[in-house]
């Protein structure tokens, strides 16, 4: 039979910081056929780019990504009536109990409400695989590469669906459009069958993918061996995690035939497979030149202390251009769009830009307290740090002068913290190196107190509602001052080597009866780059529970926290907290910030609740739209919906 489609596929390949748009419109006289789409290599390549299209959108990973919006890392005050609510996304509203099965928010099963139609993307991949032999001028090595790329994309799309829905319908092949209607009423595979299918596709793809991209100008972002192996590592770690591995909440979740869709007991062997996959991905990526980013940026840096240089290195591990950053395994192929939401207003001219760049990505106090002290242990565990009096006022001192303005009144909790705290978060009284200031002695000081921090009758809406900004998401080279903002673009990481190190440490710790030297080694690689001592040395010297790293269960909590700190604001934490089954606990507490309308330090530094999130057991998995379940009587709804 012949399939007829109108094939208008748009893909954007971001190359060397620029966007190159390729439009596939293969509809001569508005009648397109697959024979035309695969008539030669050039047309088939355009179709391949169409297969990449949804992938590029999904890994953009910001306001339509619950890994970014539903984490307690950033609160966005997108309330009705707020004139600075500029983001047309429901993603940030998920914590407000708006999810429903009648019209799901971020619907990736059908597409809609901010979600992509992923099954449509999978069908496109299947069409590519079905027709790949048609172009007569496509050589065999390139054909094998394209098949591998499409199998990776097909695996990625299925994996993305599993993270939302758990057990899914596997679209291994496209069903004939003129077949019996009963053939379309398909059942969901079990969650393990779903994961296993993804893994099998990746295993088929990996051998035929290129180890490196040699034509970086035109092909950076296309799939390599290391990228596919890193995704496989994440897939297997997710499968081994508590949400999917013997989750008692889903013990009675069955299909219409009474088959359990989740395993009823946890399988520890899944952690062994995950650990092996993580290690293999690390070895492959490092073999191709991958390493942690440790360079000290010199662009527009004329004079700076070692402390400031450390912060710039940590920031640049995220904001450096992909082609110059050996740590990036996978990154978005679009520039991050929200630097104006992540930066405080540092000048009067910047305040005037609040309408378009409102500076209102607000970090709750709980996220700020997640970061370690300078001794590399949690603030409530450090026996040398005054946790009980952390919210009392203290003036900037000489020991912290590279982070807090000398003499500036702030709270004690901002003092003596680890470098990642100062690299990732901006607060009232903090030093901000950059914004066209090239000498540390000329650096701006963040001033976030009271109505004076903004201007105009709508000033309170423009004020960051917690008093903390996600500084990590703003390139130090970006300038918001007189004239139009000059954003130094960067692509938000999807997988970084530091995250892969910690993923391996987690999987290895879970797979062994007790912590091993290798587990500590990979945690300490990340800590060392952050300017901290090793995990055992830090706990033994400064923590109340000095032996915690030697206990498997306590080390699990340490690794989880280390990942949350290292990958904060990168769109990863929300997925981690889900697979760990810890998101409900994190979102059970109100989001608090400082009393930002007050100009006096004593009045300003009083915690106030800015939002009360809503998240229950049912929210770990997305609902399938009710109409889908009605149409297909073989399809069962997710639990509690």
Consecutive 10-residue averages of pLDDT for the chain (641 residues): 30 29 32 81 96 95 92 87 78 93 96 94 97 97 98 98 98 84 87 98 98 95 98 98 98 96 96 98 98 97 98 98 97 96 93 88 98 98 98 98 98 98 98 98 93 44 84 98 94 98 98 98 98 98 98 98 98 98 97 95 96 97 97 96 97
Distance between CA atoms of residues 475 and 57, nearest Å:
22
Facing residues of 385 across strands?
A: none
Tell whether the torsion through CA atoms of 291, 292, 293 and 295 is positive or negative.
Answer: negative
Contacts with 326 (C-beta within 8 Å, 6 or more apart), sequence order: 289, 290, 291, 292, 293, 497
Asked if 524 and 485 count as a contact pair (C-beta separation under 8 A), the reply is no
Distance between CA atoms of residues 91 and 64, nearest Å:
5
Rg (CA), the chain: 25
Asked if 565 and 372 count as a contact pair (C-beta separation under 8 A), the reply is yes
Selection from 449, 591, 525 nearest residue 292 by Cα: 525
Distance between CA atoms of residues 105 and 164, nearest Å:
11
Q: Is residue 170 part of a domain?
A: no
Q: Is residue 329 part of a domain?
A: no
Long-range contacts of 530-537 (CB under 8 A, 24+ apart): 530/314, 530/418, 530/419, 530/420, 530/566, 531/310, 531/418, 531/419, 532/372, 532/376, 532/418, 532/419, 533/375, 533/376, 535/376, 535/562
Asked if 165 and 106 count as a contact pair (C-beta separation under 8 A), the reply is no
Distance between CA atoms of residues 294 and 317, nearest Å:
8
Distance between CA atoms of residues 417 and 413, nearest Å:
8
Contacts with 153 (C-beta within 8 Å, 6 or more apart), sequence order: 51, 52, 55, 121, 125, 223
Give the per-residue pLDDT at 24.
27
Instruction: Please tell me what DSSP assigns to residue 434.
Output: B
Instruction: Please give the distance of CA 541 from its chain centroid, rounded to a whole number.
Output: 33
Give the per-residue pLDDT at 32.
56
Instruction: Please tell me what DSSP assigns to residue 362.
Output: B
- Residue whose entry in the numeric block shows the structure tokens 């760990």: 580
- Residue whose entry in the numeric block shows the structure tokens 């952050």: 530
Q: Is residue 464 part of a domain?
A: yes
How many other C-beta atoms can be found within 10 angstroms of the C-beta atom of residue 20? 12
Sequence-ordered strand ranges (E) for 198-259: none
| Tokens describing residue 260 | 């359990």
| Tokens describing residue 362 | 């607000």
Distance between CA atoms of residues 103 and 115, nearest Å:
11
Q: What is the largest CA-CA distance in the chain?
A: 78
Distance between CA atoms of residues 503 and 516, nearest Å:
15
Domain that holds residue 380: 306-319+335-492
Asked if 467 and 604 count as a contact pair (C-beta separation under 8 A), the reply is yes
Interior angle at CA 175, CA 170 and CA 179, nearest 5: 140
Asked if 447 and 453 count as a contact pair (C-beta separation under 8 A), the reply is yes
- Residue whose entry in the numeric block shows the structure tokens 């760049």: 357
Q: Is residue 428 part of a domain?
A: yes
Q: Is residue 93 part of a domain?
A: no
Give the per-residue pLDDT at 451.
61
Q: Is residue 451 part of a domain?
A: yes
Instruction: Please tell me what DSSP assigns to residue 519.
Output: H
How many domains, the chain?
A: 1
| Tokens describing residue 123 | 């069908």
Asked if 253 and 261 count as a contact pair (C-beta separation under 8 A), the reply is yes
Facing residues of 495 across strands?
A: 330
Give the per-residue pLDDT at 308.
98
Query: How many helices (H) and strands (E) in the chain?
Result: 23, 12
600 φ, ψ to 5°?
Answer: -80, 135
Q: Is residue 38 part of a domain?
A: no
Asked if 204 and 198 count as a contact pair (C-beta separation under 8 A), the reply is no
Selection from 342, 345, 317, 349 nearest residue 331 by Cα: 317
Predicted TM-score of the model (pTM): 0.93
Q: Is residue 369 part of a domain?
A: yes
- Residue whose entry in the numeric block shows the structure tokens 């300038």: 479
Distance between CA atoms of residues 295 and 38, nearest Å:
46
Give the per-residue pLDDT at 140.
98
């Amino acid at each position: 039979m012949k399939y007829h489609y109108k094939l208008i596929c748009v893909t954007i390949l971001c190359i060397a910081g620029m966007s190159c748009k390729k439009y596939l419109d293969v509809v001569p006289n508005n009648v397109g056929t697959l024979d035309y789409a695969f008539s030669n290599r050039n047309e088939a390549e355009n179709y391949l780019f169409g297969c990449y299209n949804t992938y590029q959108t999904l890994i953009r990973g910001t306001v339509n990504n619950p890994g970014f919006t539903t984490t307690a890392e950033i609160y966005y005050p997108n309330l009705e009536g707020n004139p600075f609510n500029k983001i047309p996304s429901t993603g940030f509203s998920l914590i407000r109990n708006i999810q429903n099965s009648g019209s799901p928010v971020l619907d990736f099963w059908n597409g809609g409400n901010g979600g992509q139609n992923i099954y449509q993307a999978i069908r496109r991949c299947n069409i590519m695989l079905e027709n790949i032999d048609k172009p007569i001028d496509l050589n065999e090595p390139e054909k094998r590469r394209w098949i591998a790329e499409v199998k990776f994309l097909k695996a990625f799309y299925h994996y993305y669906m599993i993270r939302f829905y758990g057990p899914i319908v596997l679209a291994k092949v496209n069903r004939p459009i003129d077949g019996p209607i009963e053939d379309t009423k398909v059942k969901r595979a079990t969650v393990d069958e779903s994961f296993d299918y993804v893994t099998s596709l990746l295993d088929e793809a990996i051998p035929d993918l290129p180890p490196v991209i040699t034509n970086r100008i035109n092909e950076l972002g296309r799939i390599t061996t290391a990228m596919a192996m890193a995704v496989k590592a994440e897939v297997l770690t997710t499968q081994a995690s508590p949400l999917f591995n013997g989750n008692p909440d889903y013990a009675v979740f069955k299909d219409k035939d009474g088959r359990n869709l989740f395993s009823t007991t946890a399988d520890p062997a899944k952690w062994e497979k995950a650990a092996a996959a993580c290690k293999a991905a690390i070895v492959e990526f490092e073999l191709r030149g991958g390493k942690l980013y440790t360079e000290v940026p010199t662009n527009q840096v004329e004079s700076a202390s070692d402390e400031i240089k450390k912060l710039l290195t940590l920031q640049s591990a995220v904001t450096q251009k992909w082609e110059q950053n050996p740590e990036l395994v996978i990154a978005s192929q679009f520039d991050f769009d929200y630097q104006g939401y992540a930066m405080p207003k540092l000048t009067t001219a910047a305040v005037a830009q609040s309408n378009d760049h409102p500076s209102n990505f607000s970090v709750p106090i709980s996220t700020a307290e997640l970061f370690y002290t300078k001794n590399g242990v949690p603030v409530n565990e450090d026996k040398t740090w005054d946790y009980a009096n952390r919210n009392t006022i203290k003036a900037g001192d000489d020991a912290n002068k590279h982070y807090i303005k000398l003499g500036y009144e702030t709270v004690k909790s901002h003092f003596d913290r680890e470098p990642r705290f100062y690299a990732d978060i901006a607060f009232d009284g903090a030093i901000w190196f950059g914004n066209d200031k090239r000498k540390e002695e000329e650096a701006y000081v963040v001033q976030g107190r009271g109505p004076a921090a903004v201007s105009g009758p709508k000033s309170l809406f423009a004020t960051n509602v917690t008093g903390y900004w996600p500084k990590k998401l703003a390139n130090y080279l970006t300038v918001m001052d007189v004239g139009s903002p000059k954003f130094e673009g960067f692509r938000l990481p999807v997988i970084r080597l530091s995250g892969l190190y910690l993923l391996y440490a987690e999987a290895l710790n879970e797979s062994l009866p007790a912590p091993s030297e290798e587990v500590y080694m990979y945690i300490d690689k990340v800590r060392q780059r952050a300017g901290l001592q090793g995990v055992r040395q830090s706990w033994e010297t400064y923590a109340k529970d000095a032996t915690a790293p030697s206990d498997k269960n306590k080390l699990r909590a340490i690794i989880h926290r280390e990942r949350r700190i290292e990958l904060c604001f990168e769109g990863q934490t929300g997925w981690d907290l889900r697979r760990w089954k810890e998101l409900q606990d994190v979102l059970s507490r109100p989001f608090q910030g400082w009393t930002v309308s007050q100009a006096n330090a004593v009045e300003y530094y009083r915690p106030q609740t800015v939002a009360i999130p809503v998240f229950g057991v049912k929210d770990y998995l997305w609902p399938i739209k009710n109409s889908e379940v009605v149409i297909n009587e073989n399809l069962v709804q997710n639990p509690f919906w």
